[in-house]
Structure 1
């Protein structure tokens, strides 16, 4: 009888009906069925995908030669594995058609291959997790050092500003005092940027609205005449600290020029400052006074200041325009810098 030979064959073998019912299985096949959680008296379609196996079973039932087939396993931990089998019709005493199915010899190792792959993927995932952790530690360290640098620069600028003010008070020359006061105001304008970065624990991004309002308060307390009013309307836009520094200095220069030259012969005046988006990607600064406009004879006297103004506008990659008529208006339109990786985080 075939049963005796069937049981000693080392390859996994099943005897099944053309409809898929399992009639018998040898020890090697029983191992696969157990791993897949399929009853040894159940259906072969619980082990293999019916669409892959049904037609091959019908063809093999009427064949005296081996019929090769490939089917996807659909049970338990073996789900998804593609398995090669060979089948042929089997003559039995009762005359009912049956099929001898031989599964590829290495099928019992399929589960081991599956678990080995999972182990390999887990090892790769652990390595990626370790690398990500190391990278995060490096980023955190860089953020800390950058923040510490901002804090120290802020303190150094405050010290420098104090030294300049002290030196200005001890000077006998009016020209020297004016020069020192002008330098001191520029230093304090730069210091505002670092104060806000330190205050908000930010590495390179700050709010332009908050910065310009702080600058307006500084100008109002230090150089703005009592009867000259400053009207500021500033949008809360994020700026890179390099743009913020140049913008702060530019506002300082333009407002200082207006205070010095626009209101000669008058004891009152008005300065308007506007900062907002211009389109989708650009920003716009406008500073306007209601003074007497630019006088040609003053051009040579303000040449040095204009050199600074043009350099700052260039640093912002902006287009600076000036218009005179019932006062002087300066307009700067620029494309702000993008923020870096540390800022994005």
Structure 2
């Protein structure tokens, strides 16, 4: 009895060792081959084969083999469900121990060659009650197996089923990951192509606006110092404000947002150059933030109008003075962030006959229209110079 108990303990140790190894393998083919190799090596069977069931063809196909027949059995060997001992097990879902295959009419030599098999043991591998594979072992002598062998292989079959399920799930996840990566790469490529296209579009728009500005400049040279020249100059500055937006979009990091600080500082520099007011000092306090195109463009046009008006009218007769420009984000009590653009000067202020609430000039009408486009609140006061502020919600949607 002690010898049998010792042998039983050794077998349990072997089963545990095989189980521990196979459940750690997640690639299906490696799992199947490791399973038959370990069973053949540790339990000493003559030949071990594992065949997976293909439900579509109703056939069992060789997936892994170890032992005497590994070299002679074709790699694409398959057997129909119901044919031979293996097929019978797949069909019935029951284990089968035949200790003399020559006396069993179900026995089938599937390779088309003579093999020395005399005993065969087949065990179904099931998942949720359905056969998914068959584990087959063979011996060259009669009475090659005992009921103990049957119990060991049935125990292993349960663990193999779990390992196959894990491997198939892992393989499915890997396939999904590969498909997702492939899709993401395709999307990334598409986005990169669209980004290049958009940048090229912004570049061409900027070039076209530059061409229009150049044509206007030619016309201004024909009528210098006249009312027409002043009108064309205002139009030219507005075109520059729009063109600068497109320049920032094709040279910046983003194709849908503009750096306010970079944009405003360059816009101020260009407007200064067009007036060359040596006696007027401009101070700036511009917060570094990004604005979407539908907000940045009207902001740029507003800044152009307000700064142009200050440079043209606040300091007549070559007076000295200061213009202060502020652009900042403000948090309100409603927790909805606002942005405020402020332009103020210490010049002579607005003429008494000018009403900014009922504007007649093109500049003031444009300021009103742009403020409404931003859903902003416009305020203008003229006590010690002129101060104009526009506060608008940062989440203003494009019209």
For the aligned pair, the TM-score class normalised by the smaller chain equals 0.5 to 0.7
Partners of 1:243 and 1:337 within 8 A in 2: no
Partners of 2:242 and 2:301 within 8 A in 1: yes
2:18 maps to 34
Partners of 1:274 and 1:286 within 8 A in 2: yes
Whole-angstrom distance in 2 between the partners of 1:258 and 1:291 = 8
Whole-angstrom distance in 1 between the partners of 2:10 and 2:194 = 68
1:212 corresponds to which of 264, 284, 291: 264
2:293 corresponds to which of 241, 245, 250: 241
Deviation at 1:163, TM superposition (A): 0.9
Deviation at 1:309, TM superposition (A): 0.2
Return the TM-score normalized by structure 2.
0.57
Matches within 5 A, 1:1-345: 23=9, 34-37=18-21, 103=155, 106-171=158-223, 174-223=226-275, 225-264=277-316, 267-279=319-331, 281-299=337-355, 302-337=360-395
Aligned residue pairs total: 266
**Distance change >3 Å, CA 239–CA 227, structure 1 → 2:** same
Q: Which runs of 5+ in 1 are unaligned?
A: 4-14, 42-80, 83-99, 340-345
Residue aligned with 2:322, SS:
strand
Q: Which runs of 5+ in 2 are unaligned?
A: 23-37, 43-126, 129-150
Partners of 2:375 and 2:396 within 8 A in 1: no
**Distance change >3 Å, CA 109–CA 164, structure 1 → 2:** same
Alignment deviations for residues 155-205 of structure 1 (CA, whole Å, 9 cap, x no partner): 111111111111121237822222111111110111122222333353122
Residue aligned with 1:263, SS:
coil
Partners of 1:319 and 1:333 within 8 A in 2: yes
Partners of 1:197 and 1:203 within 8 A in 2: yes
Whole-angstrom distance in 2 between the partners of 1:37 and 1:151 = 62
Residue aligned with 1:34, SS:
helix
Return the TM-score normalized by structure 1.
0.65
